[in-house]
Amino acid sequence: MRMLINSPETVVADALRGIAAAHPDLEVDVERRIVVRRGAREGGRVGLVSGGGSGHEPLHAGFVGPGMLSAACPGEVFTSPVPDQMLRAAAAVDSGQGVLFVVKNYTGDVLNFQMAAELAEEDGIRIEQVLVNDDVAVTDSLYTAGRRGTGATLFVEKIAGAAAEAGAPLEEVAEIARRVNAASRSFGVALSACTTPAKGSPTFDLPDGELELGIGIHGEPGRERRPVMPSREIARTAVGAVVEELEQIAPQDGPVLALVNGMGATPLLELYGFTADVCAVLAERGVQVARTLVGNYVTSLDMAGCSVTLCRADEELLRLWDAPVRTAALRWGA
């Protein structure tokens, strides 16, 4: 096993200590496993809390800060955080305006966030939840009932975070988050399996010369395996699967936000080449790209591969996307 770690047992705690050292604008509770925006209660804003298993960095802790999340709850690698983490996070960020939970559609996350929401409401904290389920590859998987939550999580957290930063009330922030999810679709491709620190070996068998289409962010099986294809053919397959469903979302001729996401081990040289192919396919299909984000944002440890997420965006969603953000992983605007 070749990993830059001390031990599998301490890998998440060690990473949290590193986040604390690198980003003093965040409050990091290593023992209780929560990352909170410093001054989260100031300004009377709605709080945004998300979380999930570690191994998908910078999701979610890398998205905590002005214009995005108020707090994140990292679980163990590929393991949901527990309700106590979410409850502490909600209490840490609630300014009296309520808290939105952003939940990826994985069974453990859904159950634990629901339990945390019930406990928080018993404590007098108003809670809304939005479920992210954007993956078009498969309907059910090893970890989910229904579609998996993947790249659209970034769109939901950024756009809802901007609405909260602007002072929108809880119900409006939740409605915007649900609109973003409903308008987003994703498709992922694996060129190699990932390796968890605890196992120390690939989580699934992907023979040399093959790739998996429709993979999940934990290495869940996709639609099919094929011989390795050139980037342009992978782009045609991924974009085709996404646009096929995106065409059912009004307005059918509206522009899209595009996320070309690396799964953790794919260098930017390859991702930018793949982006050129994605944009070419979208142009052939008459899809206007309003904004493009390229990089490793919703990852799967050391998996080589990529995903494409498109969100049908109206003027309001584009304005909120362009609004300033200052987090460890996303930074633009004033």
> Looking at the annotation, which residues are catalytic?
56, 218
How many angstroms separate the CA atoms of 282 and 284, rounded? 5
Q: With contact defined as beta carbons under 8 Å apart, do 146 and 294 qualify?
A: no
User: Helices (DSSP H) in the chain: which residue ranges?
Assistant: 11-22, 83-93, 107-122, 152-165, 170-182, 231-246, 268-284, 315-322
Asked if residues 317 and 180 have their Cβ atoms less than 8 Å apart, the reply is yes
Query: Is there a contact between 124 and 97 (Cβ–Cβ < 8 Å)?
Result: no
The 26-29 sheet, strands edge to edge: 26-29, 34-37, 71-77, 47-54, 99-104, 127-132
Apex 13 CA angle, 91 and 204, nearest 5: 110
Paired tokens of 317 = 């969603």
Check if the beta carbon of residue 181 is closer than 8 Å to that of residue 311: no
Please give the distance of CA 181 from its chain centroid, rounded to a whole number. 11
Cα separation of 82 and 51, whole Å? 10
- The two beta strands, 71-77 and 224-227, are unpaired
Q: Tokens 């979208």, residue?
A: 282
Separation of alpha carbons 296 and 267, rounded Å: 9
State phi, psi for 69 to the nearest 5 degrees: -80, 150
Query: Alpha carbon 194 to chain centroid distance?
Result: 18
d(CA 130, CA 233): 34
Residues 149 and 216: their CA atoms lie apart, in Å, by: 9
